[in-house]
Each structure stands twice: as structure tokens, then as C-alpha cells.
Amino acid sequence: MCGIAGVVGKSNDDVVKKVIERLEKLEYRGYDSAGVAVVSNGQIERLRAVGKLRNLKAKLEQNPLSGSVGIGHTRWATHGKPTENNAHPIVSENLAIVHNGIIENYKELKFELQKDGFIFETETDTEVIAHLLQREINRGLSSRKSFENVLKVIEGSYAIAAIFSSLPNTIIAARQKSPLAVGFGDNMCVGSDVSSILPCSEVVYLEDGEYVEITEDNALFFNKNFQQVKPKKQKISIDLENTDKGEYSHYMLKEIMEQSSTIRKTILHNKIDKNIFEGVSRILILACGTSHHAGMVAKYWFEKFLKIPTDVEIASEYRYRSPIIGENVLAIAITQSGETIDTLEATEYVRRYNNSKVVAIANVKNSAISRISDVTFYTEAGIEIGVASTKAFTAQLTILAELAFHNYDFLTREFQNLPTLCEETLDLQNEIKDLAKRICSASSAIYLGRGSLYPIAMEGALKLKEISYIHAEGFAAGEMKHGPIALIDDDTPVICLCPHNELFEKTSSNIQVALARGKNVIIFTDSDGSKFLPPETTKIVLPKIPEEFAPILYVIPLQLLAYYAASLRGTDVDKPRNLAKSVTVE
């Protein structure tokens, strides 16, 4: 959540434009408000705006700032409403800071600071950090020592970047369970991810507990014991081609249409060790949100083809219930960003209480999850800018399928046809666009699936909720009669996933039950299934595919349906309200 960008200029360069350019690459992390602060003529100057970054840019045109060192922030509100007063950077007398994360002991610290005479002007926990720093400086300590003293007392998760009126060419930054990267190039810079430090050519990723002092041509790194260390720089290798929307109206549609090529690249770049499951008695999958739905699909695959008991856990809940891990467990952590705090914490819990092997599936190289895992498989989705995940999800499913089917040559061969079948499915977009007119005015929708398509029904419902703001729920089709049937009427769309497989008769019976109670039933099936379904129903006929691969194929039309419904409703598809791409707070 939230995005941090900071730049130290050279030879009195004005850095404001560069900070804003980096914030533009981070807006997917939060767009409740944005702000920038600089050191100018020995003073802190700041400008903030509510809403998307374009509002800040408009204010800067009217009230320009300039300075040779600057920090910026795009916010996803945690503490305090999304108002200009709560927007970052937060200023104390001689400094400004930006902060991602949550300071868990902020109430105690705030009470202490108020006793010392500090006046709080915001509702944020971040203001505690600013005033703590100012108090240390008021005591005559250096900026570096003040920063160290603050790190000793704050608790929680954070990425912090600070500038000081007395240091016209320095940023001090720290990380604890929230990502932060330092870039080396024409300008020294700091940012929440690697895209925000480009065009730097080299990067150092801060580890938990570390902090860095960045000047115009150097960076000094310190470990959690405040001892100076020399980290290894890494070359930045990130594919930024086609990061504009091109001919598409939204990034989300572009990313949906890229899925066949993403699947091809993911298959090509990930090779599975034949012995990866040797000695494993149980598989534990840890994930949140869309990634959790991918894990649910994998449970069906792993238990059927690997014959290994598999549990799928919501990572945000896992470590709070004293789980029994057991012996010979393989943990699989799934996170698109590689920085999802709940998944990281659950994975570290497994590490702490068991010597289980950990496999990670992520879309971002060198992310935190890869550093705490034994093996990492990368989804080759490239940069996914739309907040609602699409191509990263099908790439996750692709890797999970490769793991499940790696000892089945006939499935491995069939797998090679999947990208072509995805392309054929994407060709149905005009039919699905017309179909969206039937659901865009609904207040609620029901999605039904059986077997490995049950999690896909949940994912389809999630996509509709995320971007169209229509309430939707995905159910196991057999569970409809146990309660959800009460929701069905003529105005409620019932979206059914019904390929002609071994569960076809069961699912088609559930469809008949829905038809007896409502007329807005939509069915996604294949050519064989279409022959046996009621002729009066609305059907979208997908390519015939081996049932093992149906989850990957059948989610694509549900993504398109959500996209077109949201477009018809006029929502901000790429930046839906209240959401952010990377969830780095609990």
C-alpha cells in the first residue's frame, strides 16, 4: 500500500518533476491523496492534494515547488481519512517524512509527545514519527543519530523516507516489513519498488531493520544494529516495453488480452524439478485474495495428480490460530507482488516453527518472498498496472498446473495448446461485451461452479466486486440449495460455469433449479455442453479443453465480463475505489 519516491539531485538540479514521474509509476499503490516536499533555501516546502496524482500536478502548475532533494507519496489511507490534512509528506518543524505501513505503538508515543508539548495536526500515525525525529534534533543530535533513536522506539511495519532542512542533499530512509529500494544512476533515489527508481541502472533492496543515508553521489547502508554494511548492488533488469495502454481504453483490458503470451512465457521460463515433491507428506498453500483462489484450484490438482494432502490457508488468518504444521510439509507461498505482508508473515511463521521447505510463486523478481523461500517460480506477467489482477492470476495457475502435472507427459503436451485456446476465448470479447449489458445495472450477482471451477466462480465474483462495485458472491453450485438460492430472482444474474465434464450433469441440474426461480441465467460452457443445456438459456461457448486446464480458460471470460460491466457503469477500472495493488499493511 502507498508509494514512496525520493530523489537527490546533482548540482542544484530541481527534482520535483523527477519525483512526480516516479509517483506516476506508483499510483497503483494508492490514490486517496498525493504530496511532495523539498528542501529549498534551507526550508521545507510542501504541496499536497486529495485524490489522484493529477490533482497534485494541477496544484503544482499553480504553485510550483523547486529543490535539489525531494520526497513524494501517493497514499492508501490507513490511519485517518483521505483528506489533504492527512496526506503525506508529514512535516514537523525542520523535516518532512513519508511513510508506508502502520506504527502499532503510536498511541503511547503520541501521548508522550503531547506531554512534551508537540501539537498534532493530523489523524495519522505517521505524525508520531515526524515529531519523534524533531524531538531528537531539538536535543542537539545529528539527523542520523535522531533517525536511529526513532527506529529504536517505533513498532510495526514501515518504509520511511525523511528530508531535513539542514541537509539540502540527503534522504534518510528505513524499512521494516514494507518494501524499499535504493537506486544508483544519474540521480540517487529511493522508492517503493524497482519501477519507481528507474531510470537508475543498479538497485539495492533494503532488508528488514536496515536504513540508508542517501546523498547526491553515494549511499551509506546500516544494519539493524546500526553498523555500516556494504550491500551488493544488483543490475536492474525490468521489461518496461508496452507499459502504456496503446490502443486499449484501460490497462486492465490490455492485460486481459496479454494472457496468452504471458502463459507462453511462464511455461517457457519455469522448469520443474522432478524431485520437488520427494518426501513431502503434505502441501500447505499460503495466499490472500486472488492468489488464494489460485491456491484453491491447486488443491484440486495436487490431490488428484500428486496424491498429496493439500491445505489452502488465508495467509492473514493463518498464524493467529496456532496451526499444526506437521512434518515433511512443503509450503507454497503465492503473492503477485512478492511483498504481501500477510503472506510474508505467514511464511515466516512456518519458517520459525518448522524446517519445512518453502516454494514461492511471485511476479516480481528480488521481492521479499523470494528472499525467504528455498525456491521461487516467477510468473512472467511483466508489469501489471491494473489494480484488479488478471494476467498475473492465470500465470499463477500456469505454474501451479506445471507443478501438479509435471509427471504426466500427456498433460504436459496438452499444456502447450493452452495459449492458443486462450486466444480463441479472447476472440469472444464482443459477445461478452453485449452480455455485460444484462448485469451492469444489477445490485447483486451469483456465480456458480463445481470442482476446480468453484474457486473460479469466486474469482469471477471478486473481479465484478472490485471494479464495478456490484455485490457478487461465488458459490459451489451444490451449495446453492443450502441458502444462496434465497437470493435468486428475475433481476439477479446467475453466472454458471458448466463445461461438459464429469460434473456436467450435476451442474446442469443446479442450473435448472436457478432457472425455476429467475430468468437472468448466463452459462459458460463448451460445444458439447451447449447441446444438452436448455435452448432458452444464454450461453457463451468456449473452446473445448481438457478439464484439468478449464480453470485457466474459464476465468478469462469472467474477467472480460467484469471489465465491460464496470466500463458501462463508468467506474475507474484501473484504479477502483479503496483498493491498492500491493497490500503491505495488515
Calculate mean pLDDT across residues 319-344: 91
> Which residues contact residue 211 at a Cβ distance below 8 angstroms, ignoring those fewer than 6 apart?
147, 148, 151, 172, 173, 174, 175, 221, 222, 226
The whole-number pLDDT of residue 581 equals: 62
Beta sheet of 375-378, edge-to-edge order: 310-314, 282-287, 329-335, 357-362, 375-378
- What is the rounded CA–CA span in Å between residue 227 and residue 41? 32
Q: Packing angle between helix 429-436 and helix 550-569, nearest 10 degrees?
A: 50
In the set 18, 391, 465, 581, the catalytic residue is 581
Cα separation of the two ends of the chain: 10
> Cα 341 from chain centroid?
10
Q: According to the model, what pLDDT value does residue 364 have?
A: 84
Please indicate, yes or no, if residue 147 is contained in any of the structural domains. yes
| Closest to 263 in 3D by CA, of 376, 383, 399 | 399
Q: Which pLDDT value is given to residue 444? A: 95
Q: What is the pLDDT of residues 369-405, one digit of tens each?
A: 988 899 999 999 888 888 899 999 999 999 999 999 9
Per-residue confidence (pLDDT) for residue 198, from 0 to 100: 80
Could you tell me the pLDDT band of residue 190, with boundaries at 50, 70 and 90? very high
Residues 6+ apart with CB under 8 A from 439: 445, 464, 470, 493, 495, 520, 522, 561, 565
Mean pLDDT within 306-331:
93
For residue 580, what pLDDT is reported?
A: 66
Number of domains in the chain: 1
Q: What is the reported pLDDT for 92?
A: 94
Note the helical H segments in 406-549. 409-415, 418-426, 429-436, 454-468, 504-515, 527-532
Note the pLDDT of residue 238: 64
Mean pLDDT of 535-556: 94
Instruction: Say what percent of the chain tops pLDDT 90.
Output: 64
3-12, 144-153, 205-214: least confidently modelled range:
3-12
Q: Is the pLDDT of residue 241 over 60?
A: no
Q: Over 60: is that where the pLDDT of 247 sits?
A: yes
Residue 9 vs residues 12, 170, 186, 217, 532: alpha-carbon distances, Å? 6, 9, 9, 9, 68
What would the pLDDT profile of 199-227 be if each residue is shown by its tens digit? Answer: 888 889 998 899 999 998 889 999 999 99
Higher pLDDT residue, 237 or 318?
318
Q: What is the mean pLDDT of residues 125-149?
A: 95
CB 72, CB 131: distance < 8 Å? no
Q: What is the mean pLDDT of residues 221-235?
A: 91
Least confident stretch, 69-73, 356-360, 414-418: 414-418
Active-site annotation holds for 581: yes
What pLDDT score does 1 carry? Answer: 62
Q: Which residue has the higher pLDDT, 363 or 197?
A: 363
For residue 189, give the CATH number of its domain: 3.60.20.10
In a domain, 574, yes or no: no
The reply to whether 143 falls in a domain is: yes
Helices (H), 286-408: 289-301, 315-318, 341-353, 368-371, 391-405
Is residue 356 assigned to a domain?
Answer: no
Q: Would you state the pLDDT for residue 526?
A: 95
pTM of the model: 0.85
Q: At residue 540, does pLDDT exceed 60?
A: yes
Residue 155 located in a structural domain: yes
Per-residue pLDDT tens digits for 47-56: 999 988 899 9
Catalytic residue among 2, 440, 496, 498: 2
Q: What is the pLDDT of residue 577?
A: 86
Q: Is the pLDDT of residue 312 over 60?
A: yes
Average pLDDT, the chain: 90
Residue 223's domain comprises: 3-235
Residue 292 falls inside a structural domain: no
pLDDT tens digits for range 396-444: 999 999 999 998 888 888 888 999 999 999 999 999 999 999 999 999 9
Report yes or no on 180 lying in a domain. yes
Give pLDDT, residue 257: 96
- pLDDT for the residue 153: 95
Specify the range with the lowest mean pLDDT, choosing from 8-12, 58-62, 254-258, 527-531. Answer: 8-12
Residue 528 counted as domain residue: no
